């Protein structure tokens, strides 16, 4: 997709892990970024089969974009992130993160950075599990 062209549709995805957390800050950021529809859910990012994310991925078409506030909202597992980003790209859509502007599937540098940081998110998740155990 040509970066100078506006996406056909801009979808947001907001996620928190626990019932006590709120989606409000993410929703405000996504709406300010131009997302016309925001899919939201309260479920762990470690869970691959998230209902709202699956609905969003099946909605994407050529020229659309999926926007998150941070990449860890999309996935906590490197393998899950790769699978999700592949589905986005295969649909002809674009992925981008507001907090990490370099995380953009429209260029090779963005795809490389997603791979590196996806690995770091996976390590962080393991550290969190170890500390809480």
Catalytic residue among 4, 17, 58, 77: 17
How far does Cα 3 stand from its chain's mean position? Answer: 18
HEC readout, the chain? CCCCCCCCCEEEEEEECCCCCCCHHHHHHHHHCCCCEEEEEECCCCCCCCHHHHHHHHHCCCCCEEEECCHHHCCCCHHHHHHHHHHHHHCCCEEEECCCCCCECCCHHHHHHHHHHHHHHHHHHHHHHHHHC
Q: Is 108 a catalytic residue?
A: no
Catalytic residues: 17
């Amino acid at each position: 997709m040509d970066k100078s062209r506006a996406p056909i549709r801009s979808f947001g995805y907001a996620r928190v892990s626990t019932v006590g957390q709120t989606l409000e800050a993410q929703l405000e950021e996504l709406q300010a970024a131009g997302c016309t529809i925001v899919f939201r859910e309260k479920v762990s990012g470690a869970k691959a089969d998230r209902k709202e994310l699956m609905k969003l991925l099946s909605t994407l078409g050529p020229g659309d974009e999926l926007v998150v506030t941070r990449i860890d909202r999309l996935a906590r597992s490197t393998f899950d992130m790769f699978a999700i980003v592949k589905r986005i790209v295969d649909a002809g859509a674009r992925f981008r993160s507001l907090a990490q502007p370099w995380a953009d599937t429209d260029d090779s540098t963005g795809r490389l950075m997603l791979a590196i940081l996806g690995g770091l998110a996976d390590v962080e998740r393991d550290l969190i599990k170890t500390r809480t155990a």
